[in-house]
Amino acid sequence: MTIEELEQIAEDARAKRQETARELKVCMAAGCLSLHSDTLKTALDEEVKRSGANCRVRGVGCMGLCSLGPLVQADPEDALYHNVTSEHAAELVAHPEGAVAKELVCSREQAFFQRQTNVVLENSGKIDPEKIEEYIAEDEYAALLHLLTEKSPNEIIQDVSKSGLRGRGGAGYPTGLKWGTVAKTVGATKYVICNADEGDPGAFMDRSVLESDPHRVLEGMIIAGYAVGASRGYIYVRAEYPLAVKRFSLAIREARKQGFLGNQICNTKFSFDVEVRIGGGAFVCGEETALIASIEGRRGMPRPRPPYPAQSGLWDMPTLINNVETFACIPTILRRRADWFAAIGTKKSKGTKVFALTGKVLNVGLIEVPMGMTLRQIIFEIGGGIPEGRRFKAVQTGGPSGGCIPEQFLDQPVDYESLRELGSIMGSGGMIVMDDSACMVNVARYFMEFCMSESCGKCIPCRSGTAQMYELLSRITDGTATLQDLELLEELCDMVSSTSLCGLGQSAPNPVVSTLRYFREEYIEHIEQKFCRAGVCECGKQREVLA
Amino acid sequence: MNPAPAVKTLLIDGTDVSASANQTILDAARENNIRIPTLCHLDGLTEAGACRLCLVEVKGTARLLPACVTLVEEGMEVTTHSSRLEKYRRMILELLFAERNHVCSVCVANNNCEMQDLAKELGVTEVRFPYRYPQLSVDTSHERFSMDHNRCILCTRCVRVCTEVEGAHTWDVLGRGVNSKLIVDLDQPWGTSDTCTSCGKCVQVCPTGALFEKNKVGMHAAKNPDFLSYLNEMREGLR
């Protein structure tokens, strides 16, 4: 593959788009598919064939506004249709100006679209994720070709460092630093691993990226492989994401066919190949050392660090592990230059972040915003606020490792540091909005139940501590707890977070600690008055019966 | 001969200590008669770093570090005993006692139990957490040994000795979290195992009454895990 050949593929793909006067793009990512967008696409295809309209129907990735799916984008008029069903097919194909179509139009002018900055999601919803030509048509893979022929690995690492990119998996470790460490470590073989074991409840960022634009992640991995001197890559995807597995596997095959993977990539000395590894349903395998154990074919349990995977990882070799979104940032950073990326965001958190906005918010979906946007802007402008006239209560970020942030901090910017200060974490990007119908003790109990059942059982504080914390929280929610139980709970939170072996245990108490910090009165009400103000817990119901 | 590893000097509980660069804090402390409580650690087996009893404070690090796997560093200032550490260690034992059915008075390992000894040493006088009382079985199908899951603390010493020393890998862990369970081969009665060589190493390294020899109680049930150090010395000698 040469630059000229690549440009030819891109031109052919662009020309193909011009063949028809109109184009209908149907979302074929998991959100809309669960609302039968596949039957919709078939209906549209048949309608086009039947009517002979000068129109092409294409399956594309996620368009973001999942709650209004299935979504269809019509070009060149740039109209977005929501809640489209097969019955609308004829109207959309034949009468885009008609009343039926007009009713389905979803304004592009609304804050949900206007306030976003798309870097990772720039191709999402625009290209067919199952066709490599469409990705190439967006000028992608060109960055890889240029890098392989013109830049040294060290220059690439410096570019990544300059961009200020930090790990999108949650901890926010500087990506350039990690790459540099792996590059400098000596090893017979080196590995690149993409962590796609996204397991936080309510999080679907990585799944959407893999389903909508798999080549972007793959290109990021290949560039990383070149930069750190690795010859082999693995992507660890959870088995619960069959579509992501299917599309990424297809992407690997297509990339191999075009010579972006394999021996002597694009006639350079660099050889690299990627393999898919499917998880077995354990949340803890998102922890890097457990993930490595799982790839090696062992029981997915974490081990003490150091040594860090950068020094001794997969099969004791230097290993680079990054999250899906981190790799997805790489092609754009290198194509548009590091300072362009570094200009987005805040002083310490650069670039954009993809969030899965869910819960009690009007616009549920996938969003990408510049770092430093406030929670209020995300929830009330992009998210459209709380439905059914209810009051905002808290937003949960970072999944079971994160915390709940109450209303008084809604104007805090979203970046790694400020979220940590609030007792939560950035995490991988789950954002669950809760209204006044949520009981914060019950929320804490829910996340503790999750941690308890996902603890691997290796270290005592996490294995037994989460079970005891869950028991104590259950006592509080069913109205049988005493203030001593609360004291014991707080003592356990401190002990489990200070002594657990891996991140799962260390952060398991976070949902409890953060709700205790901001909603302590709810805990006290449950204990002293046997009263749940949200009416969720059993203790509240018993009280109603008595009254 | 490999060149001798570099020597580091550090401070453990205010005492100046020297150690080889490949030694852990635990090694260095023991050489200098500073006791750090351990439970999953056993000389001669790989470290699990799982019981968290050996956590120590190191100046300049906010996190507590497990002494069994943390290598010594020049100028390190280690605190092995503080009120915070003691409190956590007691809580870890409390959690263990509440997790399964540990009833010392009717246990074969009574007075020969490392967990019991540690509880005495660390002054665990009560268990504040609710006892979980799980329903667990006892496997007596092996002709010489028994496995009582009620007493198991999942330290995985048996798994490690069986894999690393005996080379049989009869033992492993099934399930996760509090539902983790030691299993034989493919979760079958011990007596039906094809891989078990009946060597009894697992019984000797078990710190509690979970694995025990049949017909032996009281002083006769004392475990003797010291064979591992002899084995290691022999291996070193052969090298």
CB contact under 8 A, B96 and A460: yes
Give the max Cα distance, chain B: 56
Of B87, B95, B128, the CB nearest to A460: B95
Pairwise CA distance, residues A421 & A415, whole Å = 10
The answer to whether the beta carbons of residues B174 and B185 sit under 8 Å apart is no
The answer to whether the beta carbons of residues A442 and A537 sit under 8 Å apart is yes
How large a percentage of chain A has pLDDT more than 70?
A: 99
Dump strand ranges (E) for chain B: 7-12, 15-20, 55-58, 65-66, 77-79, 138-139, 145-148, 171-174, 181-184, 211-213
- Give the pLDDT mean for A368-390: 95
| Nearest-by-CA chain A residue for B130 | A468
* Domains, chain B, with CATH or none: 7-81 (3.10.20.740), 86-238 (3.30.70.20)
CB contact under 8 A, B178 and A500: no
N-term to C-term CA, chain B: 10
Pairwise CA distance, residues A234 & A193, whole Å = 5
CA angle A496, A499, A501 (to 5 degrees): 100
Q: What is the pLDDT of residue A468?
A: 97
| Nearest-by-CA chain B residue for A304 | B49
Pairwise CA distance, residues A533 & B143, whole Å = 60
Give tens-digit pLDDT for A447-495. 999 999 999 999 999 999 999 999 999 999 999 999 999 999 999 999 9
Q: What is the pLDDT of residue A169?
A: 87
How distant is the Cα of A499 from the closest Cα of chain B, in angstroms?
Answer: 6
Handedness of CA A216, A219, A224, A225 (dihedral sign): positive
Residue by residue, pLDDT tens for chain B (239 residues) are 456 669 999 999 999 999 999 999 999 999 999 999 999 999 999 999 999 999 999 999 999 999 999 999 999 999 999 999 999 999 999 999 999 999 999 999 999 999 999 999 999 999 999 999 999 999 999 999 999 999 999 999 999 999 999 999 999 999 999 999 999 999 999 999 999 999 999 999 999 999 999 988 777 888 888 888 888 888 777 76
- Please enumerate in sequence order all residues whose Cβ is within 8 A of that of A50, keeping only pairs 6 or more positions apart, or say none: none
Element (H, E) at A56: strand A55-60
- Please enumerate in sequence order all residues whose Cβ is within 8 A of that of A400, keeping only pairs 6 or more positions apart, or say none: A200, A201, A283, A447, A450, A451, A454, A507, A508, A510, A511
Which two tokens mark A407? Answer: 């209303």
Q: What is the pLDDT of residue A197?
A: 95
Would you call A249 helix, strand, or coil by DSSP? helix
Q: What is the pLDDT of residue A547?
A: 46
Q: What is the pLDDT of residue B189?
A: 98
Q: In 10 A of CB A36, how many CB atoms?
A: 15
Dump strand ranges (E) for A164-317: 191-196, 232-237, 273-278
Give the max Cα distance, chain A: 80
Of A453, A468, A500, the CB nearest to B98: A468
Least confident stretch, A97-106, A507-516, B89-98? A97-106
* Domains, chain A, with CATH or none: 21-114 (3.40.30.10), 139-342 (3.40.50.11540), 352-435 (3.10.20.600), 449-546 (1.20.1440.230)
The answer to whether the beta carbons of residues B221 and B108 sit under 8 Å apart is yes
CB contact under 8 A, A468 and B92: no
CB contact under 8 A, A464 and B64: no
Q: What is the pLDDT of residue B239?
A: 63
CB contact under 8 A, B50 and A459: yes
- Give the pLDDT mean for A351-359: 96
Q: What is the pLDDT of residue A1?
A: 80
Of B51, B132, B176, the CB nearest to A460: B51
CA angle B117, B123, B128 (to 5 degrees): 110
Look-up: residue for tokens 């079971």? A400
Pairwise CA distance, residues A352 & A426, whole Å = 12
How distant is the Cα of A142 from the closest Cα of chain B, in angstroms?
Answer: 44
Least confident stretch, A212-221, A419-428, B161-170? A419-428
Residue of B82, B133, B176 to mutate when probing chain A, most A C-beta within 10 A: B176
- As a whole number, the mean pLDDT across chain A is 94
Residues of A in contact with B48 (CB under 8 A): 458
Of A284, A299, A457, the CB nearest to B178: A457
Q: What is the pLDDT of residue A542?
A: 55
Q: What is the pLDDT of residue A540?
A: 56
Q: In 10 A of CB B43, how many CB atoms?
A: 12
Of B48, B49, B177, the CB nearest to A455: B177
Q: What is the pLDDT of residue A545?
A: 52
Q: How many CB pairs under 8 A join A and B?
A: 91
Q: Complex ipTM above 0.90?
A: yes
A77 has a pLDDT exceeding 90: no
CB contact under 8 A, B178 and A467: yes
CB contact under 8 A, B64 and A501: no
